[in-house]
Amino acid sequence: MFKIEVIGNLGGDAEVKNDNGRLYVQFSVADTRKFTKEDGTKQEVTNWISCFYRNAESEVVKYLKKGVRVFVRGNGDLRLFSSAKDRMMKAGASINVQEIELVGGTSDEIPRQLAMSNGQILNVLKAYFVDVQNIPQEQRPKELFDKHGVAYDCNENGFITAVHNEQPAEQPSEEQNADGSPTEVY
């Protein structure tokens, strides 16, 4: 079995396609390597990896936009093709994606920390994602709040899906951290 793992940026928005009634998502990831040659000149090489993801209903799909940094793992395939640009034979890679993660950090749309209604602070670890795996299923938040009281929808897997309302919600109750200081939402 040939496995490929890559971390890179999407070259364009992911597209949902239909193959005889089966939906899949297609996107390309750019892996760029920078190095200095022996003569001191700087060189940059970008490899494009074609990706095919069979889970078109996944929450992550709506965040697969141009420039987003992702980690992708799956079964690999190599192919040879003739480049129309320079008439040379070239090799390319594609991945039948089995696992995908957003790794680009937070954006201006989602704060770095959000609070549950009980005041517990959750860090936004990856783009639009908070780690709720250590919270029992029945206690996982359906919405989180920023420091201004704006509510954000959160699904059971920890993906922040949308701003719930435009008006600030009631502030979560102020509780104390283990060191006795009040909790704050940033």
What is the rounded distance in angstroms from the CA atom of residue 33 to the CA atom of residue 40? 16
Query: Most distant CA pair in the chain: distance in Å?
Result: 69
Q: In this predicted model, which residue has the larger pLDDT, 169 or 126?
A: 126
Is 109 in a helix, a strand, or coil? coil
Tokens 């939906």 correspond to 23
Break the chain into its structural domains and give their ranges.
3-102, 105-186
pTM: 0.55
**Tens digit of each residue's pLDDT (9 = 90 or more) over 134-186:** 788 888 878 877 777 777 777 776 777 655 444 444 444 444 555 554 444 43
**Tens digit of each residue's pLDDT (9 = 90 or more) over 10-62:** 989 999 999 898 999 999 999 888 899 999 999 998 889 999 999 998 888 88
Residue 153 buriedness (CB in 10 A; 0-12 / 13-18 / 19+): middle
Q: Band of the pLDDT at 132, cuts 50, 70, 90?
A: confident
What is the rounded distance in angstroms from the CA atom of residue 50 to the CA atom of residue 78? 10
CATH topology assigned to domain 3-102? OB fold (Dihydrolipoamide Acetyltransferase, E2P) (2.40.50)
Residue from 19, 30, 24 nearest 96 by CA? 24
Cβ(180)–Cβ(174) under 8 Å? no
Q: What is the mean pLDDT of residues 78-84?
A: 83
* Identity of residue 25: V
Return phi, psi of residue 76, to 5°.
Answer: -100, 160
Cβ(146)–Cβ(154) under 8 Å? no
pLDDT at 91: 82
